[in-house]
Structures are given as structure tokens and as C-alpha cells.
């Protein structure tokens, strides 16, 4: 069987997690994982254009066969505001549109509950802090955490690790939902 690549994305206004999972001959592996910090400076369109270009560059670099994007949540208890949701929606849809423009195919939009149901290993869905450990078990790897390198928190796990883990969960959920049963 030829190899297939799945690009999973977790896009927020603070960090975009990006994962490439590779499956070949029934074996799924982590091919690449990274995070990107969208610009904070500039007007809205300059910031969205930078995100769009980042996504296009990654699509060109990796040439994924499939793309999946964590869909936006319209209500975040204790965190939702019109400004937060609007900003997140603008960025998320910019990422989706960049994928569509570059590949000619829309990304699969997966909501967080569907993702967590697809990757759960027990009766209960994993919570955000449990996602890296869940990824480790599915892929039989040690999760490549990002660590803080300076200041009083030096050596602690960086928040970006969880954005990367979420992007990996998106790609893994895509595999579980749309591919796994077809390749068995």
C-alpha cells in the first residue's frame, strides 16, 4: 500500500497545532508535529494573511492526502464572548479556506467531542491534559512535549504541547473515523 498522510490542525488565535500522521500497510505513525504562533501585531487582514500563508506553505511542504481541522466551539463556559468567538471563527475559517484553495478539497471539520470520542481508550473521553498520554498509547510513542526554556517555569511543559497534542488528536480521529475500517 502506498503511504497516505493526514494533516490535523488545531487552530486558535494564540497557537496553531499542526500534525502529520502517516499510515502505510496498516501502521499509523507520527511523521511531524509543530506549533505556530499567529502574529499579534498588524491589522486583522495582515494577521489572517500570515496564517493563510503558513497553512499554504505547510500544505506545499507535506502534500497531505487528507486534512482535518478542529471545528470552532460556539460557546465556551467561562471563556466565551462575542469577541473571542468571532476572532476564533475568523482564524479557523481562514485556515479552512486556505486548505480548500490549495487542495481543492475542504478540510473535514471535527468538533472536540467527536474527536475525543473517536480517540478514547476507556469509557470516559479524555480531558485536554490527558490527550498527550492518549496519543502515546495509540501511536506507541513518547509524546514529544515542548518545554519552557527560560524563566521561573524553565523545564516545565509548555502550553504549546497541548495545542500540538490537540492537532494530533484531530488527525488520529480522522484516521479512526474515516480510514481505519477501510484499511482493515
pLDDT in tens, 32-57: 999 999 999 999 999 999 999 999 99
Reported as a pLDDT band with limits 50, 70 and 90, residue 158 is: very high
**Contact between residue 131 and residue 162 where contact means Cβ atoms under 8 Å apart:** yes
pTM: 0.94
Counted domains in the chain: 1
Least confident of 55-59, 86-90, 100-104: 86-90
Residue predicted with more confidence, 88 or 59: 59
Question: What pLDDT is attached to residue 2?
Answer: 82
Neighbouring residues of 7: CB distance < 8 A, sequence distance ≥ 6: 18, 19, 20, 58, 59, 62, 64, 66, 67, 68, 171
How far, in Å, are 29, 119, 152, 183 from residue 180 at the CA level?
13, 12, 44, 6
Q: Which domain holds residue 62?
A: 4-183
End-to-end distance of the chain based on CA atoms, in angstroms? 12
Residue 137 CA to chain centroid, in angstroms? 18
Question: What pLDDT is attached to residue 81?
Answer: 62
Compute φ and ψ for 105, nearest 5 degrees: -130, 135
Relative orientation angle of helices 131-139 and 112-119, to the nearest 10 degrees = 40
CATH code, domain with 108: 3.30.420.10
Amino acid at each position: 500500500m502506498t503511504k497516505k498522510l493526514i494533516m490535523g490542525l488545531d487552530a486558535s488565535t494564540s497557537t496553531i497545532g499542526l500534525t502529520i500522521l502517516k499510515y502505510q500497510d496498516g501502521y499509523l505513525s507520527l511523521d511531524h508535529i509543530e506549533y505556530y504562533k499567529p502574529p499579534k501585531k498588524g491589522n486583522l487582514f495582515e494577521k489572517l494573511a500570515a496564517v493563510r500563508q503558513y497553512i499554504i506553505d505547510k500544505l506545499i511542504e507535506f502534500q497531505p492526502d487528507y486534512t482535518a481541522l478542529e471545528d470552532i466551539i460556539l460557546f465556551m463556559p467561562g471563556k466565551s464572548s462575542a469577541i473571542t468567538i468571532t476572532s476564533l471563527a475568523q482564524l479557523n475559517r481562514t485556515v479552512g479556506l486556505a486548505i480548500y484553495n490549495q487542495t481543492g478539497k475542504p478540510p473535514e471539520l471535527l468538533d472536540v467531542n467527536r474527536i475525543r470520542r473517536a480517540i478514547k481508550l476507556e469509557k470516559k473521553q479524555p480531558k485536554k491534559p490527558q490527550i498527550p498520554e492518549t496519543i502515546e498509547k495509540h501511536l506507541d510513542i513518547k509524546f514529544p512535549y515542548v518545554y519552557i526554556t527560560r524563566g521561573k517555569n524553565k523545564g516545565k511543559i509548555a502550553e504549546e504541547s497541548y495545542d500540538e497534542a490537540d492537532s494530533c488528536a484531530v488527525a488520529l480521529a480522522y484516521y479512526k473515523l474515516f480510514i481505519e475500517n477501510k484499511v482493515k
